[in-house]
Amino acid sequence: MGIGLAGLVLGIIGLSLFFRRGVGGSFRDDFHSLAMDSLAARGWWVTAPDTVYWSRRGDFGSGVSLYTLEGDYWPDSVHRPVIRNLLLRRIPCDCFTMEWHLNQFIPRQNWQQAGILLSEDTGFMGKSFRVSIAYNDYNGIYPLSGTILLQAITSSSTRKPEEIAHVPLFTADSLRRHPALARNLEHSALRIEKRGDRFRILYADGILENTSFREITVHEFSMHPRYVGLFALRGFVDSAEAIPARFSWFSLDCEECK
Q: Which domains does the chain have, with CATH numbers?
A: 25-254 (2.60.120.200)
Q: Kindly tell me if the per-residue pLDDT of 19 is higher than 70.
A: no
Encode pLDDT of 167-185 as tens digits. Answer: 999 999 999 999 999 999 9
**pTM reported for the whole predicted model:** 0.88
Encode pLDDT of 140-164 as tens digits. Answer: 666 677 999 999 999 987 778 999 9
pLDDT at 91: 98
Q: Taking residues 73-78, report their average pLDDT.
A: 79
pLDDT tier for residue 3 given thresholds of 50, 70 and 90: low
Q: Taking residues 196-205, report their average pLDDT.
A: 97
pLDDT at 63: 96
DSSP the chain: -HHHHHHHHHHHHHHHHHHHTT-S-EEEE------HHHHHHTT-EEES--HHHHTTTTTTSSSEEEE-BSBB-S--SSS--B-TTEEEEE--SSSEEEEEEEES----STT-EEEEEEESSSSS-S-EEEEEEEEE--BTBS----EEEEEEEEEETTEEEEEEEEEEEEEHHHHHH-GGGGGGGSEEEEEEEEETTEEEEEEE--SSTTPPPEEEEEEE------EEEEEEE-BS-SSS---EEEEEEEEEEE----
Q: What integer best gives the mean pLDDT of the chain?
A: 90
Q: Kindly tell me if the per-residue pLDDT of 33 is higher than 70.
A: yes
pLDDT at 128: 96
pLDDT at 20: 45
pLDDT at 171: 93
Q: Kindly tell me if the per-residue pLDDT of 9 is higher than 70.
A: no
